Amino acid sequence: MATDLTERVQEIAEARDVAESEILEQALERGVEDLWIDLVLSRYVNDEIDRETAIDLVGRDRVKRAERELKLVEDDVQWGLSA
Amino acid sequence: MIVAVADTGPLIHLDEIGAIDVLSAVDGLLIPQTVYEELEAGTVPPALSNLEYELVEADPTELTVDLNLDPGETAALAVASDRSAVLLTDDLEARDTANDLSIEVHGSIGVIVLAYHRDQLTRSKAAELMRALQTETSLFITDSVVEKGISLLESSS
């Protein structure tokens, strides 16, 4: 895995003609952004924050997607437990 | 008695987590020929040969909606409609279309929970597999949604 990451960083840096350090900085920013989105959506689906707050923080599309997925997962679990 | 017809998605996603055998939780499994051919275009999961299933031909011309789905999903919908079977798909659009056609539809998570309910899996193994669907497969699903599903499973008596 570490080898994969190193090779990918090298390949991306070469393709974009930028320093590997810059690629790592971008990767960290994207990674933190993804983790932040996960945290906000987790708080929303667990009723710790309201819908408007979640939309303000991560955008309407992500919230609507999570709502749609949640409905399907709840439906699947209910079916599996009762079928 | 649950007769289900599988689209490509659950066959691939469940195989990716080494759990394609949970599909034996349904009483009868149908796989449209078109879906099987889609699998053949990649790799047919070897573990599929351990499952009992029936390969079936589909007639999508019977469907009354305008479909914007791929051939496998369309075939699975047609078979589900024709045989009054449960459609198994992880595709959101296919699920919407199935609902429009009043076809019962569920996904890989539903199959895992069914396998737990039918004593093929422990609750902890079912939770582990649900989590693996999110982390180890090509299925896109928000992780907090999976965790919510697991909490629903764990709160069941």
Mutate to test the interface with B, among A69, A70, A78 (most CBs of B within 10 A): A69
Burial tier of B82 (Cβ tally within 10 Å: 0-12, 13-18, 19+): middle
User: Residue B6 carries which DSSP code?
Assistant: E
Record the pTM: 0.87
Q: Which of A44, A66, A73 sits opposite B149 (nearest CB)?
A: A73
Mean predicted confidence (pLDDT) in B80-84: 93
Q: What is the mean pLDDT of chain B?
A: 92
- B145 and A69 Cβ atoms separated by less than 8 Å: yes
Residue B140's pLDDT band (cuts 50, 70, 90):
confident
Which tens digits make up the pLDDT trace of A40-55? 999 999 999 999 999 9
> What ipTM did this prediction achieve?
0.91
Query: What is residue B46's predicted lDDT score, i.e. its pLDDT?
Result: 93
**Distance separating alpha carbons of residues B51 and B1, to the nearest angstrom:** 17
Residue B116 tokens, joined = 């737990």
Q: Coil, strand, or helix at residue B142?
A: coil
Q: Does the pLDDT value for residue A74 go beyond 80?
A: yes
Residues of A in contact with B144 (CB under 8 A): 38, 41-42, 44-46, 66
All structural domains of chain B with their residue ranges: 3-108
**Distance separating alpha carbons of residues A72 and B132, to the nearest angstrom:** 17
| Phi, psi (deg, nearest 5) at residue B127 | -65, -40
Query: What is residue B139's predicted lDDT score, i.e. its pLDDT?
Result: 87
Measured in angstroms, the CA of B121 and the nearest CA of chain A are apart by 12
Class of the domain covering B3-108: alpha beta
Measured in angstroms, the CA of B93 and the nearest CA of chain A are apart by 11
